[in-house]
Amino acid sequence: MCLFLYDDDPEPDERLTAGLLCVPVRPGTAQVVLRLFRTPLGGRTAVGFTRPDLLAATLGPHQPWMRLSEAALRALAAPLTACPVTIDPTLTAPAVTPAPARPVRHPAPAL
């Protein structure tokens, strides 16, 4: 533990707010829908980025997004049981794609 406390050092139990976030969304039929991701252990998480360039670097330049406050993002994720909010994730993995189907081999016609 540090013996010196500075004015800008938060206490460990204080939650810092990130302000406005760039939140990845996906288009729905009439509105946009919050896009959820998976943690390395498989749990769901809502994601927000503090800057648009961080979002583009992680998810690609064509990822749709909208501005939300951290409080609004937490409120949207709250009904989902144990859905934490991850801010500025840096590592992502590509989406899992099904294995390509093997070609079906038909038996040669009998002569």
pLDDT digits (tens, 9 = 90+) for 61-80: 999 999 999 989 988 888 87
28 inside domain: yes
Examine residue 9 and state whether it is found in any structural domain, yes or no: no
Q: How many domains does the chain have?
A: 1
Q: Are 23 and 66 in contact (CB under 8 A)?
A: yes
Specify the higher pLDDT residue, 43 or 105. Answer: 43
Containing structural domain, residue 62: 20-87
**If you average pLDDT over every residue of the chain, what do you get?**
78
- Count of Cβ atoms closer than 10 Å to residue 83 Cβ: 15
Of the CA atoms within 13 Å of residue 64, those in its CB half-sphere come to 9
pTM: 0.65
pLDDT at 8 over 70: no
Residue 64 included in any domain: yes
Q: Is 13 within the bounds of a domain?
A: no
Residue 105 included in any domain:
no
